[in-house]
Chains A and B, each alone.
Chain A
Amino acid sequence: MFNRLKQLLSCLILIGSVSVASAVDPVQILQSVEDTLNAPEDREALLTMQLIDKKGETKNRELTLLQKGPDKRLIRFLSPADVKGVGFLVLEDDMMYLYMPAFAKVRRIASHVKNENFMGTDFTYDDMAQNDYVEDYTPTLQEETDQHYILELVPKPDSEIDYSKLVMWVNKETRLPDKVEFYDRSGRLLKVMTQTDTKRIDGYLTPQHIEMEDVQDNHKTTMDLKNVVHDQNIPDKRFTQRYLKRF
């Protein structure tokens, strides 16, 4: 409840500041995006992913997501069969752990995997986790349309982002990024992410269909969120190695 009020308050402040100030502050817009994304106390969802190659052939992935705040995340793979039961735990300060049932062991993972493709999809591990844009990027307002603020985000010098820049279409009404373009290190357009089918679930705006297209490889991944539940008061102990091993 407190977070919903916080979300509402930040939107009101932003709307107020937009109407009063003559220039729109891109940092404030980006902060409102981050606040919207991080508004729920916690979230549980079933993610179904479809990988579509240039010939139109598909592969499927299914996983559960448990999230608390911007830093704690537990992902469990349900399919395909050869990775079923594999768990991935992300904690504060880039502490990441992988549990593979076949080895009966939790293994510490270093942050070098962050820019790797997540399970062969078009999302990187970092894309899956990215909710702290203000900390990692410096935004500038490129354009304003009736529906969107179009921001250019350049990685801060000390961030470990593998993109040269992002261009983000921020929906003025929902404060969600409807579209994001990712540019590679040489400045070429690499990927385009779109978020649609946004619904209010438990009071929070939640895009339920996300597409990430690699325009260089002509490969696409769609991700659908199902059974989304917010604010269940998920205890911190669920984000520990003890629970990572449970399936």
Chain B
Amino acid sequence: MNHISTSIAALLLGGLALLLGTHPVGAVVDVSGNLKADSRWRPDDERYTRNETRLALKLDARSTKTFFHAESRLRYFAYPEVSNSAQLRDTDWIQPWRHELYEAYADVYGFLLDNVDLRVGKQRIAWGTADKMNVVDNLNPDDFEDILDFTEKIPTLGLRMDYYPGEFTVTGVIIPVFTPARSLSSSWEVTPAFPLPQGLALRTLDDNVHLPENRPRDAANLGIRIQKPFLNYDWSLSYVYSRDEWALPTRAEILPVDTLGTTDVHLTLEYPRQHIIGADMAGTIGDVGVWAEGAMFFPEEEIYTHVISPSGTQSQLALDDEPYFKFVVGGDYTFTNGLYVNAQYMHGFFTDRGVDNLEDYFLIALEKKFIRDELKVRMTMAAEIADFEDTGDNSAYFGGPELTYSPVDDFEFVIGGLLLEGDASTQFGQFNNNDEIYFQMTFSF
């Protein structure tokens, strides 16, 4: 399947390139991309957690009124996934790889009206003014596959229209198909848990994910955003009607295995509907860059987990329908000695849900470049506070030193580390044994 999809994608991209390259209107075709090698080591386990080589191929074709862009990624995972001798006959198990079509969209400028642009296809729609920690960016689902890029999103099929009346920008988006968030990779997965009545012991926990019906009224996401500069600041208001990209348990079957209280649990997970009203701004105070975002989440209904056991059925509230507010504020500045500082405070992480479950995060990044930007030293630090009244047992800390060296154009060499400490009940703290060292090399063309 992988081979087939890759071949089809390559054929389509090549064909399009050929078509546009000889098109009478003279579209300009451009091929670019990068090759990235990424190796990671976890000292606590003394093992690799990633050995990936990724080839990203980008194709752009443009004319005065249109633009086409596609990015295709071929990912090769060096560690074999062989578990039986039959698989030793198959290269896919010995040298596993996969193909991803990251983006593929077309733009039409001046669509119907001179001040309307249209974009159709698999695309990233990035909203918000904060530095990656965006709470109003809710049209594309989260992509947690790579912990180093946990703020990434998955581009999805959509139709986007931008209308530019005067100083306003009005953006309307329809995403017809639901796409769930991508969870952490297997090297970062956590042991699943479910709170059981006293006296019962969990043996296994499995689940079924119920996707919404594949029809517009169940699967579509909609969004609208209005932007305008005012008093030297950029402001925007947005509204999104979507499904939560992270599933919630709506049913739990407790299945006794023996008379000693050993049980299996089977969960059913669903993606509830929600309305999100957001606002963001960006500007400067003196020479300092400042930004802020806020998003009010309105769950469409209360979500209950129906716990079914031999003794009967109980309902536990999984998500209240009470609105909850997430926000982020931040700023950045470059000192005269070249030290760049970026600081942000976030209330409510991407996966936090409900009024009583929003945690607080403080993030700071320091960066300095040397030797005409050939060498860049960056230190990222973050603190997660789950409960300000008891920070000792309800907090976690993250540190990420990183060194980037680019001795020649188009080549970049990165070495860095992830250091995690804290209480295991917190977002970061649950990974406190997952410190890693990474090494990356990227060649762009």
Q: Which residues of A contact B (CB under 8 A)?
A: 51, 53, 59-60, 79-82, 84, 93-95, 103-105, 107-113, 115-117, 119-121, 160, 162, 185, 217, 219, 237, 240-242, 246-247
Contacts and interface: CB of A to CB of B under 8 A. Distances in A.
Interface centre among B67, B409, B442 (most CB of A within 10 A): B409
B44 interface: no
Contacts of B125: 104
Contacts of B333: 110, 112
A51 B406 CA distance: 14
Interface centre among A82, A162, A246 (most CB of B within 10 A): A82
Interface stretch (B45-53, B281-289, B298-306, B419-427): B281-289
B334 A113 contact: yes
Nearest to B338: A116
Interface in B149-166: 162, 164
Contact of A110 (B62, B117, B162, B287): B287
Nearest to A242: B164
B126 A105 contact: yes
Given A94-B284, A109-B289, A117-B373, 7 more contacts: A82-B442, A108-B282, A112-B288, A120-B372, A162-B336, A237-B164, A242-B162
A208 B129 CA distance: 38
Interface centre among A84, A117, A119, A162 (most CB of B within 10 A): A84
A121 B409 CA distance: 13
Contacts of B164: 237, 240, 242
Nearest to A83: B444
B360 interface: no
Contact of A112 (B169, B334, B408): B334
Contacts of B109: 246
Contacts of A162: 336
A177 to B, nearest CB: 24
A109 B283 CA distance: 8
B244 interface: no
Contacts of A94: 284
Contacts of A59: 408-409
A217 to B, nearest CB: 8
A119 B410 contact: no
A79 B338 CA distance: 24
A60 B287 contact: no
Nearest first, the 4 closest Cβ-Cβ pairs linking A and B are A110-B289, A120-B373, A82-B444, A81-B444
A107 B291 CA distance: 10
Interface centre among B34, B67, B369, B444 (most CB of A within 10 A): B444
B378 interface: no
Contact of B373 (A95, A119, A240, A246): A119
B410 A116 contact: no
B374 interface: yes
A237 B334 CA distance: 30
A210 to B, nearest CB: 18
B284 A110 contact: yes
Given A81-B410, A116-B338, A95 B287 contact: no
B142 interface: no
Nearest to A120: B373
A247 B373 contact: no
Contact of B334 (A79, A116, A119): A116
A104 B122 CA distance: 13
B332 interface: yes
5 contacts: A82-B444, A117-B373, A120-B373, A242-B162, A247-B67
B232 A110 contact: no
Contacts of A240: 164
Contacts of B79: none
Contacts of A110: 284, 287-290, 332-333
Contacts of B445: 81
B412 interface: yes
A93 B234 CA distance: 13
Nearest to B229: A95
Nearest to B282: A108
B54 interface: no
Contacts of B126: 103-105
B32 interface: yes
A115 B337 CA distance: 10
A59 B338 CA distance: 22
A241 B169 CA distance: 10
